[in-house]
């Protein structure tokens, strides 16, 4: 796959990373920060993974499919945690994570198909 073929997923990863960074910061301002601890932790892991995945795709890394598969898994866990909270920033983050899951799984599937 070429860089341009990855663009949709790169955009989804970047959008998700931004949403996760915003969510983690907003969670720190919630009245009960302790209740948001797991959400913050997942946000941080997810943002880091999304940034890594976007960079791997931009480089057309041989490992892009594997990285995207892992990214999808982490994004799904983050989406599941964020969806438990009613705060708008958590709900928006969950949506961005779900979009990233979809895009990353498409890249992972297409890369595996190309290798076959």
Of the two residues 77 and 112, the one the predictor is more confident about is 77
Nearest CA-CA partner of 13 in 65, 57, 77: 57
Q: Stretch 6-17: mean pLDDT, rounded?
A: 97
Query: Tens digit of pLDDT for each residue in 36-79?
Result: 999 999 999 999 999 999 999 999 999 999 999 999 999 999 99
Helix (H/G/I), strand (E/B), else coil: 69: helix
Express each pLDDT in 12-42 by its tens digit: 999 999 999 999 999 999 999 999 999 999 9
Task: Report pTM.
Answer: 0.92
Q: Which band of pLDDT confidence, cut at 50, 70 and 90, is reported for residue 116?
A: very low
- The C-alpha angle 24, 26, 54, rounded to 5 degrees, equals 40
What is the Cα–Cα distance from 110 to 31, expressed in whole angstroms? 44
Question: Could you write out the DSSP letters of every residue in 27-56?
Answer: HTTSS-GGGGHHHHHHHHHHHHHHHHHHHH
The rounded distance, in Å, linking the Cα atoms of 24 and 16 is 12
pLDDT at 7 over 80: yes
| Whole-Å CA distances, 26 to 53, 66, 99 | 24, 31, 21
């Amino acid at each position: 796959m070429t860089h341009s073929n990855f663009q949709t997923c790169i955009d989804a990863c970047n959008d998700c990373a931004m949403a996760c960074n915003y969510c983690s910061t907003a969670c720190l301002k919630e009245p009960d920060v302790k209740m948001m601890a797991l959400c913050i932790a997942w946000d941080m892991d997810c943002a880091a993974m999304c940034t890594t995945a976007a960079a791997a795709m931009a480089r057309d890394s041989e490992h892009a499919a594997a990285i995207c598969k892992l990214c999808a898994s982490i994004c799904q866990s983050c989406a599941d945690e964020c969806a438990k909270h009613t705060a708008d920033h958590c709900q928006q983050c969950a949506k961005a994570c779900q979009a990233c899951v979809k895009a990353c799984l498409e890249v992972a599937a297409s890369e595996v198909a190309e290798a076959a």
